[in-house]
Amino acid sequence: MSLRLLFPLEEDSQNVANFVDLIHSWFDVMNSHGPYSSKSDVGSGFGKYLEKQKKVLVDTKIISSMRQRPVTSNKKTKLKPYHKGIIISSKSLINLHGHLTSQNTPIEYILSTRCNQDIIEKFFSRIRGIGRFHQHPNSVEFMDRFRIQLYPIHHNLLLQPPLLNIN
């Protein structure tokens, strides 16, 4: 936004500002936490403002035209892994919403934050954290740590007999 204000007559700064806004909106769409967002319509659950949200995801196809310059002249230009991730995530969210709404289900929107890798990374971070200094568990250690995550800390309170006898 500040680029638009600082350099209102320069076309390059306007293009950069538009691109930054597009990426910002893409992150809003891909990280929706609830049905409605107080920040913007596109940050709401995917499907609440479907046309605006789809437009953001479709507009990110511009990323497919961004290529890494080859190190040598005989190599082809390549997309970076994050380019591919943005393109695949955008297509997948649109297709997932289309599939779920075409099945006559009561699903109105998708909380897209639950479809990304952050939840898996948080889970594995907790698994590694249980080992304190040993952060690379083998399969047996992983299963033990996984069991610890499944049981609540005070599970013994749930299994105790009642303290009062009622006659």
pLDDT at 16: 83
Residues 83 and 37 grouped into a single domain = yes
pLDDT of residue 55 exceeding 90, the answer is yes
Residue 122: DSSP 8-state: H
pLDDT at 83: 86
Q: How many domains does the chain have?
A: 2
Residues 98 and 121 grouped into a single domain = no
Residues 78 and 94 grouped into a single domain = yes
- Categorize the per-residue pLDDT at 127 as very low, low, confident or very high, splitting at 50, 70 and 90: confident
Output 51 or 161, whichever has higher pLDDT.
Answer: 51
Tokens of 13: 């700064």
Direct distance between the N- and C-terminal alpha carbons of the chain, in angstroms, rounded to an integer: 72
Residues 108 and 121 grouped into a single domain = no
Residues 66 and 142 grouped into a single domain = no
This prediction's pTM: 0.65
Which range marks the domain in which residue 109 is found? 2-114
Residues 53 and 66 grouped into a single domain = yes
Taking only the tens place, the pLDDT of each residue in 15-35 is: 888 888 899 899 999 988 888
| Residue whose entry in the numeric block shows the structure tokens 């075409």 | 102
**SS3 string of 61-93?**
HHHHHCCECCCCCCCCCECCHHHHHHHHHHHHH
